[in-house]
């Protein structure tokens, strides 16, 4: 068989490339061809999926300290992962974050650098942010935002959150207290009106504008188009053609739940596989019971136990892939 391993990362245990390679090992051991294709949805890890960094720029982290942020620039296209400049991990996680002060200035500085280097297309991958500043920091850091009108400017989103719901839905994850969430929500409402007054853009009507604490909405005010991150990655890696030319598709992610089917990798891969009439299965670390019937799934914890699933993730993925391949071959 020609097997396509189109997989996301297992957060905290394996990158998407490592997961794809583990499935590839199982395929080759059993005499099957494997096309190893790491996939992202616009969140953390998407930069690596799209070729990895080849530029580094010193910018401002969410709390005002310098950070060397990596990004990619190839053939007039810049790919910026906002987590590299404005991510929660840069401040030591939610416990050490000052969510009121946290700013997306660094992401704006990367966009400005891309413009200065002559980018004709900029893709900003959002997710993993420390911020709920509505993108105001980024806007202020872009010295000549009018330059953005002459290029293709895309924001790769992995959520459908509205602009003013950003704090309510994700503030606690960034360290915000209930009182701070109320303050941040009020601030987003004011920014929403400010963007309408200053740029003539009503971000309240844009699906996904609340991504990365409203950064997506702020960039939309400057003319960016918000696009599902999975769709951007699928186009960049030629996923449609890869699925069409495969006999069997294996996807994967760390935890399978309802969100997996709402703009994330597993749901996107399943949808395309079904369009082309290809069988598809998913390998995951664990899964919610209510979604197990939505796709042919194997979970590492169920098969090998929690300790092995976490301590020997790649070995477990390879073993799970081998079982799926044998089952698929038996059906044929």
> What pLDDT score does 33 carry?
97
Looking at residues 186-213, what average pLDDT do you find? 96
- What is the predicted pLDDT for the residue at 262? 83
DSSP-derived secondary structure for 257-282: SGGGGSSSHHHHHHHHHHHTT--EEE
HEC readout, 190-222: HHHHHHHHHHCCCHHHCCCCCCCCCHHHHHHHC
C-alpha dist (Å) from residue 157 to 148, 208, 213: 19, 7, 12
Average of per-residue pLDDT values in the chain: 94
Q: What mean pLDDT is predicted for residues 237-253? A: 96
Residues 315-330: what's their mean pLDDT?
93
Instruction: Kindly tell me if the per-residue pLDDT of 238 is higher than 70.
Output: yes
State the pLDDT at residue 332: 64
What sign does the CA torsion over 206, 211, 213, 215 have?
Answer: negative
Average pLDDT over residues 197-222: 96
Residue 246 CA to residue 138 CA, distance in Å, equals 42
Question: Residue 270: is its pLDDT beyond 80?
Answer: yes
- Scanning the chain, the segments in alpha helix (DSSP H) are 16-29, 46-49, 83-86, 105-116, 136-141, 166-170, 178-199, 215-221, 229-237, 239-244, 265-275, 300-304, 306-311, 313-331
Q: Please tell me the distance from the alpha carbon of residue 189 to that of residue 201, in angstroms, as a whole number.
A: 14
**12-34 per-position pLDDT tens digit:** 889 999 999 999 999 999 999 99
pLDDT for the residue numbered 286: 94
Which range has the worst mean pLDDT, 37-46, 164-173, 271-280?
37-46
Provide mean pLDDT across the span 102-122: 97
Model confidence at 11, in pLDDT bands (50, 70, 90)?
confident
d(CA 249, CA 80): 29
Report, as an integer, the average pLDDT of 114-127.
95
Beta partners for 68? 58
Of 155-159, 170-174, 234-238, 279-283, the range with the lowest mean pLDDT is 155-159
Q: What is the pLDDT of residue 256?
A: 94
Report whether 121 contacts 152 (CB < 8 A): yes
Domains of the chain: 2-38+238-331 (3.40.50.10350), 46-230 (3.90.1510.10)
Of 40 and 79, the one with more pLDDT: 79
Q: Is 45 a residue whose pLDDT tops 90?
A: no
221, 214 Cβ separation under 8 angstroms? no
């Amino acid at each position: 068989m020609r097997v396509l391993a189109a997989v996301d990362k297992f957060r905290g245990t394996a990158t998407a490339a490592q997961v794809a390679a583990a499935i590839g090992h199982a395929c080759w051991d059993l005499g099957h061809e494997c096309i190893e294709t790491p996939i992202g949805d616009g969140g953390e890890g998407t930069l690596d999926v799209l070729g990895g960094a080849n530029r580094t720029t010193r910018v401002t982290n969410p709390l005002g300290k310098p950070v060397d942020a990596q990004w990619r620039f190839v053939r007039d296209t810049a790919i910026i992962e906002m987590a590299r400049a404005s991510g929660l991990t840069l401040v030591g996680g939610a416990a050490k974050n000052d969510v009121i002060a946290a700013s997306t200035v660094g992401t704006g500085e990367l966009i400005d650098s891309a413009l200065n280097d002559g980018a004709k297309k900029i893709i900003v991958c959002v997710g993993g942010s420390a911020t709920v500043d509505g993108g105001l920091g980024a806007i202020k850091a872009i010295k000549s935002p009018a330059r953005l009108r002459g290029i293709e400017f895309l924001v790769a989103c992995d959520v459908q959150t509205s602009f003013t719901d950003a704090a309510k839905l994700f503030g606690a994850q960034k360290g915000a207290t209930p009182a701070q969430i109320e303050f941040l929500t009020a601030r987003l409402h004011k920014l929403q009106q400010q963007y309408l007054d200053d740029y003539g853009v009503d971000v309240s009507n844009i699906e996904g504008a609340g991504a990365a604490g409203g950064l997506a909405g702020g960039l939309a005010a400057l003319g960016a188009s918000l696009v599902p991150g999975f769709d951007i990655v699928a186009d960049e890696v030629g996923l449609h053609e890869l699925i069409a030319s495969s006999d069997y598709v294996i996807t994967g992610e760390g935890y399978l739940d309802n969100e997996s089917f709402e703009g994330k990798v597993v749901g996107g891969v399943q949808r395309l596989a079904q369009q082309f009439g290809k069988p598809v299965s998913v390998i995951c670390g664990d899964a919610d019971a209510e979604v197990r019937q939505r796709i042919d799934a194997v979970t590492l914890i169920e098969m090998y136990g929690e300790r092995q699933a976490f301590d020997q993730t790649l070995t477990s993925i390879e073993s799970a892939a081998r079982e799926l391949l044998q089952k698929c071959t038996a059906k044929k």
